[in-house]
Amino acid sequence: PATRLHSRFLPDCVGFESLYRELWSIKVVDICPNLNVVFFCFAGVNCNSVEKKIYVNLNYTIPCVRLLNATHQIGCQSSLSGDVGVLHVLESEENLDWVLSSGQTPPYMVILESALFTRSIMMKLKEGSSRVAGVVVVAPSTNPPEGFSPHHACPNENSGVYSDSYDPALAHCNATLWNPLGSGLSYEEFDFPIFSLKEDNDTQVIRQCYQEHNRGGNGSNPQYPLCAMQLFSHMSAVTDTATCMRRNDINFSLSPEMVCDPLGDYNVWAATRPLNTTTKGHKMFESVVIAAARLDSRSFFFDVAPGAESAATGFIALLAAAHALRNVTQAAQPNRTILYTFFQGETFDYIGSSRMVYEMMNNQSVVDLDNIHSVLEVGQVGLRPDSKLWLHSDPVSRRNDSVNQELVENLRLAAGTTGVLVDEPSTSQPLPPSSFQRFLRARPIPGVVIENHDSRFSNRYYESMFDNAEYLNVTYPPNLTPEEQFEQPLEIAKALTEVATTVARALYVQAGGSESQLDSINADPQIVSQMLYGFLVRSNNSWFQQVVPSELASHLGESQSSEPTLLVQYLLANLTGSVVNVTQEDCQKQREHEKDEDSNYMWVQGAANGTVRESFCVRSTVHLSKALSPAFDLREYTSQDYSTWTESRWKSIKGRIFLVASPDLEKLTLGVGVGVLLASLFLTYIISSKADILFSSGREPATATY
């Protein structure tokens, strides 16, 4: 409980001046957190700046947050007023005994190097949580060579196509364990806060504070004052999604507070020719080939999910393929329409794809399931030397499906023209985790998922913070400027360009295009290199600035983008659309002027010419559609058919370190304070009772004359 934690660390508030001199070498001073204390300041100490001198606030703290679904909650949280513990740097798993039993000053705030951030250690800390106030993981500057994945070993096992009613022998990864390194740590619940810190000045201060104050010599207990840390990450939602959504609906005030939000975003889609967006449902004589990729990824820690191989390789390859098809689909339009779709929320039980399928089944989409000819999904396709693409399909639906085999043959044909090696897994192997499974769950639609693995992920950092640019070898010489890095060709980009060209050519033939046009379909390696840099290294670059509107440009940062949906939307429009020579005002009204309700017009910044940008209008078929689970529209918060994931809200995320005094000194301080209070009350009583004598003025006699 918070009360117990805080009462354990009451500092010396009266004699803090002497403590200052002892602690000033590391600029950390001691006081109790969250107490309203009146200080009598002497020796020129400025009371207004005491708090700044007491705490060292930690920068770039990244928390683990709470998520909820239909049945339970996962993640981490602190108490309402933050959790406090004495710092302990864990040096090995054997050293856990100090934290869990032998240490004399619990609870502890455990500092872990990333090599010790394992399921084994974290579950032991969870079992001994009464002595653990929190955990801080120091993120390394390089990826761990042995691999690390806190995700499930069988991702999305309960939301795909395989179940007790659809080939139960393939359900629950019975045939193939896709993510063998998956520890499931991201799906555990911890009742203490867990933060990640970069290896920088903050971690140096923490280590120095620990070495000087908390590390006892010769196996002895350390002496007070001790270095402590306080972490704030209180979560508002509890129990499960049904509970938190019910609390959201309770409005007892004029400004009700929400406690959780459904996970969701937007899907991005575009077509090789305009589709009638005003009329929903089935389109007569319309046949669509869906080309799909996912946009999202996750890790144990909030908003640190680069997803370099798990997501970025797939959607970058599909973007490059869409660009390669722009000219040929305008000059020699194939019989079928290619529908590029980029799904959000696929990590959490296929939110984006299940939403699109739901809308197609209920006549809320531009096409329905009857219009779908086939599906080609681009998954993890980061190729390395001597690796190949694997063409995965569903063993159940392909038994009597000639279209499925046609798609495989078209992929083999396209790969033969680009030099990419392709192969098929065994005929009994199920589909890997993929958006295509949600389409199969609704109807036996032909389709293929292309991946860089056969029976298990080759990605050793699946859904972790280490699935980053370094893992794909997106690195640059140190002497290059950011713009020079942006223009630098990459080896991984060459391989990804070949994949994109293969995808583009296969899509064109699958859509009914002529094989004689294949040589003219080629992805651009420079664009692929620039997208890798923009999505994985630095989103604030010259090209991304050109293709987005001014209001989005301010969100482009010095690191990877946190706005992939909007960036993909504008990149797709620029890569597949055309420039319209109109003013900004006319661009915004162009749909009305041209009666072109099926296209989308966007005004983007354009290239910089000195201090002025040469903005322009782009016409494309790019649209956004909701990527929100149907469970929240249907208010079925315990649904077993759709994702029910929500994220708790919070008010404060921060961490700070300070020093705590010994319990004996705290008791002495309290005793002195109580004694001073009693003495003051007694003295006040005495003075009040003798006030007539002490404060009376002598009266003049009544007969006095002047």
Q: Which long-range contacts (CB under 8 A, 24 or more apart) does 96-101 make?
A: 96/121, 96/124, 96/125, 99/125, 99/128, 99/131, 99/132, 100/124, 100/125, 100/128, 100/131, 101/128, 101/131
Is the CB of residue 266 less than 8 Å from the CB of residue 625?
A: yes
Both 554 and 591 in a single domain?
Answer: no
Q: Look at residue 25 and tell me whether its pLDDT is greater than 70.
A: no
Q: What type of residue sits at position 159?
A: S
Q: How far apart are CA 60 and CA 197, in angstroms?
A: 7
Both 317 and 434 in a single domain?
Answer: yes
Both 255 and 271 in a single domain?
Answer: no
Q: Would 641 be classed as within a structural domain?
A: no
Count of Cβ atoms closer than 10 Å to residue 315 Cβ: 26
What is the β-pairing status of strands 578-580 and 612-620? antiparallel
Both 250 and 337 in a single domain?
Answer: no
Say what the pLDDT of residue 96 is.
93
**Average pLDDT along the chain:** 88
- Contact residues for 411 (Cβ-Cβ < 8 A; gap 6+): 376, 391, 422, 448, 450, 502, 506
Both 179 and 255 in a single domain?
Answer: yes
Both 657 and 591 in a single domain?
Answer: no
Say what the pLDDT of residue 689 is.
87
What number of CA atoms fall less than 13 Å from residue 654's CA on the CB side?
A: 9
Mean pLDDT of 224-239: 94
Q: How far apart are CA 367 and CA 295, in angstroms?
A: 22
Q: Would 690 be classed as within a structural domain?
A: no
How do the residues of the chain divide into helix, strand and coil, expressed in percent and rounded to 5? 35, 20, 45
User: DSSP character for 428?
Assistant: T
Both 308 and 213 in a single domain?
Answer: no
Q: Would 132 be classed as within a structural domain?
A: yes
- Using a 10 angstrom Cβ sphere, with 0-12 exposed, 13-18 middle and 19 or more buried, the burial of residue 146 is exposed
Q: Would 146 be classed as within a structural domain?
A: yes
695 against 244, higher pLDDT: 244
Say what the pLDDT of residue 565 is.
95
User: Number of folded domains in the chain?
Assistant: 3
Is the CB of residue 616 less than 8 Å from the CB of residue 549?
A: no
Q: Would 336 be classed as within a structural domain?
A: yes
Both 374 and 467 in a single domain?
Answer: yes
Q: How far apart are CA 195 and CA 653, in angstroms?
A: 10
Q: How far apart are CA 422 and CA 659, in angstroms?
A: 61
556 against 282, higher pLDDT: 282
Both 429 and 532 in a single domain?
Answer: yes
461 against 35, higher pLDDT: 461
Q: How far apart are CA 472 and CA 498, in angstroms?
A: 16
What is the β-pairing status of strands 83-89 and 194-198? unpaired
Q: Look at residue 2 and tell me whether its pLDDT is greater than 90.
A: no
Q: Report the b/e string of 408-422 with b at 16+ CB within 10 A.
A: bebbeebbeebebeb
Q: Look at residue 17 and tell me whether its pLDDT is greater than 50.
A: no
Percentage of the chain lying above the pLDDT 90 cut: 71
Q: Would 114 be classed as within a structural domain?
A: yes
Nearest partner of 126 among 191, 181, 69, judged by Cα:
191
Both 507 and 596 in a single domain?
Answer: no
Say what the pLDDT of residue 553 is.
87
Say what the pLDDT of residue 453 is.
96
Both 433 and 482 in a single domain?
Answer: yes
Say what the pLDDT of residue 349 is.
97
Q: How far apart are CA 531 and CA 568, in angstroms?
A: 10
CA 291 to each of CA 28, 375, 648, 664: distance values in angstroms, whole numbers, following the listed order: 57, 6, 33, 69
Q: What is the pLDDT of residues 650-671, one digit of tens each?
A: 999 999 999 988 888 888 999 9
Q: What is the CATH number of the domain that holds 416?
A: 3.40.630.10
Residue numbers of the domain that contains 126: 51-259+652-664
Q: What is the pLDDT of residues 103-116, one digit of tens each?
A: 889 999 999 999 99
Q: What is the reported pTM?
A: 0.89
- Contact residues for 419 (Cβ-Cβ < 8 A; gap 6+): 498
Q: Indicate the pLDDT class of residue 386, thresholds 50, 70 and 90.
A: confident
Handedness of CA 422, 426, 427, 428 (dihedral sign): negative
Both 236 and 284 in a single domain?
Answer: no
